[in-house]
């Protein structure tokens, strides 16, 4: 029993360890392994591999075996006496295509479809990683919002207590106390809303990451950490996306596959040549014209030339259909290119804007902290009112909340930009993971401590 008590928690820990992989690269691997879109794309890739194998197999020989056995009864005038006889025949046929013009474009189309499936899998992996990055950063952002709301509630609670003490000694009026109470009630409502939002974001992250992430939630992006982005590099990002975007590559390969299908359809007019070989073994107890049994073997080798002459317009219709599908693929290629260009530009501008906001808000946060300190000292000497102090503290917490939002939005937009360019991968997760530090919730509430010092 003692051994069981010791082993049980150890086994539970061993089972929990795989789910507790909390570094971002490990978390990304876990999320990709469980992502349904990635799995579906992997299945499509396996199907495309089999289609290519089938297209190659069409060049090879085919062999068939046919066995026939029959019992017959023959009756001849004038007596019409029934005469039974039995016949058996076994045939082995081998066919080897020598010339079929449609086989090569069919194989080209299958190869393009395979490459399309590979690009689709890459795209699915990029989108899954982007979803994970957004979920992680949304949790971090919601956690900071909650911390700031909680700190503001505590600060306003202290200001309410201070206002009540001042009212008791005659240094503050009743409206100031009522206003402080209203601010506390509003802060409590903000805390409740932030708690609900954080809970929702954690549920989304657990769903995307295929399990809970308690260890990750104990970490945070370092305050000074910002994604590396060249301010004048949008053309470089567009060039990367043009060459590496799997979505754009899928559209190009769709055009190649459509063109191959057109060549395949047009070659339905072309003649075909096949090499045929057969071996036949016959055995019967008689025939209609003979009462003597027979047994024999027949071997034959030959070539078959097939020249299509008329198909009621079906071949021309098939060619017209494939041409229309090619035009459709060309239109989708242009649409994919335009969508990609717009997406890259938007992601680049959003990242650049968030970086600029983060730098500006960092300066604003320092200035607002000085403002809080000045207002608190002014309140102590009777120059400033309690409302002035509350306003300054509220602006400080808003600045810190907005700074946190801008920093996390910058990382989210940067990951989206990397995904659109087809370059999001393990190196990005390792870079972001290196910027994570231990999360200290108490640090969010030190505004009043620092500003009051």
Model confidence at 230, pLDDT cuts 50, 70, 90, reads confident
Number of residues in the chain: 453
Measure Cα distances from 195 to 143, 148, 207, 443 in Å: 8, 11, 19, 18
Is the bond preceding 447 in cis, omega lying within 30 degrees of 0? no
| Tokens, residue 314 | 């079906």
Q: 298: helix, coil or strand?
A: strand
pLDDT of 443 > 60? The answer is no
Taking only the tens place, the pLDDT of each residue in 382-419 is 788 766 777 788 888 888 889 999 999 999 999 999 99
**Cβ atoms within 10 Å, residue 387:** 18
47 phi-psi bin (left φ>0, alpha ψ -120 to 50, beta other): alpha
pLDDT of 106 > 90? The answer is yes
| Tokens, residue 308 | 């299509």
| Tokens, residue 291 | 């009462």
| Tokens, residue 386 | 């309690």
For the residues 197-217, what does the mean pLDDT come to? 91
pLDDT of 276 > 50? The answer is yes
For the residues 342-368, what does the mean pLDDT come to? 93
| Tokens, residue 193 | 């809303």
Taking only the tens place, the pLDDT of each residue in 284-298 is 776 666 666 778 889
Residue position matching structure tokens 């009630």: 185
Q: 172: helix, coil or strand?
A: coil
Give the residue with greater pLDDT, 299 vs 6. Answer: 299
Arithmetic mean of pLDDT over the chain: 86
Say which CATH architecture domain 113-270+336-453 belongs to: Up-down Bundle (1.20)
DSSP 63-82: EEEEEEEEEEEEEETTTTEE
Of 56, 55, 63, 61, nearest to 98 (Cα)? 61
Model confidence at 4, pLDDT cuts 50, 70, 90, reads very low
CA atoms within 13 A on the CB side of 118: 10
Residue 71's beta-bridge partner residues? 86
| Tokens, residue 341 | 């260009």
Dist CA 388 CA 372 (whole Å): 9
Number of helices (H) and strands (E) in the chain: give both, helices first. Answer: 12, 6
Q: 60: helix, coil or strand?
A: coil
Helices 386-420 and 174-208 pack at an angle, to 10 degrees, of 20
Dist CA 154 CA 195 (whole Å): 15
Q: Tell me, what's the pLDDT at 449?
A: 43
Task: Give the E-state strand segments of 20-177 in sequence order.
Answer: 62-76, 81-99
Task: Please tell me whether the overall predicted TM-score, pTM, comes out greater than 0.75 for this model.
Answer: yes
pLDDT of 9 > 70? The answer is no
- The DSSP code for 308 is -
322-326 long-range contacts, CB within 8 A, separation 24+:
322/258, 322/261, 322/262, 322/264, 322/265, 323/262, 325/258, 325/261, 326/255, 326/258, 326/259, 326/261, 326/262
Measure Cα distances from 153 to 87, 159, 173, 175, 273 in Å: 100, 10, 22, 19, 86
């Amino acid at each position: 029993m003692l051994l069981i008590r010791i082993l049980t928690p150890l086994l539970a820990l061993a089972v929990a360890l795989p789910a507790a992989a909390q570094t971002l690269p490990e978390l990304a691997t876990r999320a990709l392994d469980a992502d349904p879109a990635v799995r579906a794309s992997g299945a499509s890739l396996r199907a495309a591999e089999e289609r290519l194998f089938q297209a190659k197999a069409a060049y090879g020989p085919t062999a068939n075996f046919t066995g026939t056995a029959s019992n017959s009864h023959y009756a001849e005038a004038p007596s019409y006496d029934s005469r039974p006889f039995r016949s058996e025949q076994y045939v082995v046929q081998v066919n080897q295509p020598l010339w079929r013009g449609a086989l090569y474009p069919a194989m080209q189309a299958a190869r393009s479809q395979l490459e399309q499936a590979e690009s689709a899998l890459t795209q699915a992996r990029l989108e899954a990683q982007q979803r994970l990055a957004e979920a992680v950063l949304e949790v971090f952002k919601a956690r900071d919002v909650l911390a700031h709301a909680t700190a503001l509630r505590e600060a306003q609670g202290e200001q309410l207590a201070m206002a009540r003490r001042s009212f008791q000694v005659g240094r503050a009026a009743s409206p100031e106390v009522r206003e402080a109470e209203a601010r506390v009630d509003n802060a409590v409502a903000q805390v409740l809303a932030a708690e609900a939002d954080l809970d929702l974001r954690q549920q989304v992250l657990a769903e995307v990451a295929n399990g809970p992430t308690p260890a990750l939630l104990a970490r945070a992006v370092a305050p000074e950490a910002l994604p590396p982005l060249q301010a004048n590099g949008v053309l470089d990002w567009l060039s990367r996306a043009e060459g590496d975007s799997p979505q754009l590559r899928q559209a190009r390969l769709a055009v190649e596959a459509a063109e191959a299908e057109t060549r395949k359809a047009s070659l339905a007019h072309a003649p075909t040549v096949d090499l045929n070989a057969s071996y036949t073994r016959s055995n019967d107890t008689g025939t209609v014209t003979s009462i003597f049994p027979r047994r024999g073997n027949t071997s034959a080798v030959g070539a078959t030339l097939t020249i299509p002459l008329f198909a009621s317009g079906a071949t021309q219709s098939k060619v017209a259909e494939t041409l229309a599908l090619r035009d459709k693929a060309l239109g989708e290629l242009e649409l994919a290119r335009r969508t990609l260009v717009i997406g890259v530009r938007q992601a680049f501008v959003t990242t650049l804007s968030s970086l600029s906001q983060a730098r500006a808000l960092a300066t604003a946060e320092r200035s607002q902290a000085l403002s809080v300190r000045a207002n608190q000292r002014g309140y102590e000497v009777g120059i400033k009112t309690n409302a002035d102090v509350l306003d300054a503290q509220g602006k400080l917490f808003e600045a810190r909340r907005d700074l946190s939002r801008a920093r996390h939005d910058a990382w989210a937009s940067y990951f989206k930009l990397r995904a659109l360019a087809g370059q999001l991968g393990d190196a990005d997760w390792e870079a972001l993971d290196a910027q994570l530090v231990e999360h200290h919730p108490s640090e969010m509430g030190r505004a009043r401590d620092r500003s009051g010092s």
